[in-house]
């Protein structure tokens, strides 16, 4: 390969990108838009759950119990109702996700040391949020029960009740349990996969559609030189997108970057090489921009979003789907990004994912070179 030929093709592609605002916008503006949009919209933290209360007891004990919910950051009392039809209307109209119904004999049973059954009605149409809300309510009820039991022990003059276990949780890596801290790193992988494949999926197909491929074929430029020349501009743009994404995560979303910046950009370069080469393969095989862009979206966005452990835990998927996820390169890049961002670990821990990412990139580069032939048919 001759560098002068590669540079000539790369220069031609650079000129095309900068003269075409749509290509440049897709290369830079879309990653920023997706990162900001998904970064703010994809919030998995569940707090301020709307709740309505029907206090049939109307006693000091019931009001104290309700105050545990009212004082919690996880619940927001929307209204106090006085009948089951009102409870049903509040849940059906989405005014409340949870309804708390306190029985008439609540105070009497609490004062006599018996168990008081409290009803919690939950809208299960959003099963994930409903499950989390039930967990919050269980925690509040358990804390209230413990306080009541301790007060009863002290009132009887006995020694303080010693609980059999004392769980003291300590969260590592994401102490505040904020979803953005693990969404943003994973989102970088998904965006890079989609944008990279879309960028190069149009390069060769565009040449065929515009009739300029015949001119390129007639030149002394070799197939590998042509591919590399078209690869370089989009690699530079892709790495610039990675830089913007990292800066956005650091200064806009305040996501901690605890690991090596050099390792982060190094792995991003490897991943980008494979993703760009995949887009090149799609472009070579389809020879049409519309089909190439649609195929690139199907082969990159959907698998990266659904099967990379970015949004949905792979361990919860059926076994056949779990096996398929091993073919998704974004899976390994997501693990690398989360490990570098949140845990600050290096290749001594992440070497398996890094090696598999290198294998993916090498295979895509070889495939692109094998598929491209300097022939008209």
pLDDT digits (tens, 9 = 90+) for 35-49: 888 777 777 677 889
**pLDDT (tens digit, 9 = 90+) per residue, 226-274?**
888 888 988 998 898 899 889 988 888 888 899 999 999 999 999 999 9
Q: How do residues 324-360 score in pLDDT, each as one tens digit?
A: 999 999 999 999 999 999 999 999 999 999 999 999 9
Long-range pairs for 132-135 at CB < 8 Å and ≥24 separation?
132/46, 133/46, 133/49, 133/74, 133/97, 133/98
Q: Are 224 and 369 in contact (CB under 8 A)?
A: yes
For 137, the domain range is 49-155
369/361 Cα distance (integer angstroms): 13
Residue 323 and residue 365 in one domain:
yes
Domain's final residue, options 140, 155, 170: 155
For β-strands 119-122 and 98-102, DSSP reports them as antiparallel
Q: Are residues 38 and 67 in the same domain?
A: no
Is 142 in the same domain as 186? no
User: Is 170 contained in some domain?
Assistant: no
| 361 and 255 together in one domain | yes
Same domain, 17 and 132: no
| Domain presence at residue 356 | yes
Question: pLDDT tens-digit profile of 186-229?
Answer: 888 888 887 877 777 777 777 777 767 667 767 777 878 888 88
pLDDT band of 377, cuts 50, 70, 90: low
Look up the pTM and report it: 0.80
- At 284-328, the pLDDT tens digits run 888 777 788 888 888 888 888 888 888 788 888 899 999 999 999
Domain-embedded: residue 169: no
The verdict on 201 and 140 lying in the same domain is no
Tell me: do 16 and 81 sit in the same domain: no
Asked if 39 and 71 sit in the same domain, the reply is no
Residues 58 and 37 in one domain: no
Q: Do residue 346 and residue 248 come from a single domain? A: yes
């Amino acid at each position: 390969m001759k560098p002068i030929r590669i540079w000539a093709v790369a220069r031609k592609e650079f000129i095309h990108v900068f003269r075409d605002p749509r290509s440049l916008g897709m290369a830079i503006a879309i990653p920023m838009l997706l990162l900001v949009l998904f970064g703010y919209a994809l919030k998995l933290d569940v707090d301020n759950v709307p709740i309505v209360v029907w206090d049939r007891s109307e006693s000091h004990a019931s009001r104290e119990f309700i105050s545990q919910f009212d004082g919690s950051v996880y619940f927001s009392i929307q209204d106090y109702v006085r009948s089951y039809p009102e409870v049903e209307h509040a849940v059906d109209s989405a005014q409340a996700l949870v309804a708390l119904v306190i029985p008439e004999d609540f105070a009497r049973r609490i004062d006599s040391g018996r168990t008081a059954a409290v009803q919690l009605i939950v809208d299960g149409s959003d099963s994930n949020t409903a499950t989390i809300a039930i967990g919050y309510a269980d925690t509040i009820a358990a804390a209230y029960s413990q306080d009541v039991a301790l007060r009863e022990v002290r009132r009887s003059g006995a020694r303080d009740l010693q609980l059999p276990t004392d769980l003291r949780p300590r969260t590592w890596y994401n102490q505040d349990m904020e979803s953005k801290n693990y969404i943003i790193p994973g989102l970088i992988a998904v965006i890079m996969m989609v944008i990279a494949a879309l960028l190069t999926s149009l390069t060769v197909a565009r040449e065929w559609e515009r009739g300029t491929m015949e001119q390129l074929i007639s030149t002394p430029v070799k197939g590998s030189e042509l591919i590399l020349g078209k690869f370089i501009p989009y690699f530079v743009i892709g790495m610039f997108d990675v830089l913007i994404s990292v800066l956005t995560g650091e200064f806009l979303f305040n996501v901690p970057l605890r690991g090596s910046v050099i390792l982060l950009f190094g792995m991003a370069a490897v991943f980008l090489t494979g993703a760009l080469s995949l887009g090149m393969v799609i472009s070579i095989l389809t020879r049409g921009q519309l089909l190439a862009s649609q195929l690139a979206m199907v082969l990159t966005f959907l698998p990266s979003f659904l099967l990379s452990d970015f949004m949905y835990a792979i361990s919860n998927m059926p076994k056949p789907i779990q096996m398929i996820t091993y073919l998704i390169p974004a899976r390994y890049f997501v693990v690398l990004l989360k490990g570098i961002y949140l845990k600050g670990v290096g290749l001594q821990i992440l070497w398996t994912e890094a090696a598999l990412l290198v294998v993916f990139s090498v295979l895509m580069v070889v495939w692109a070179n094998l598929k491209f032939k300097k022939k008209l048919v």
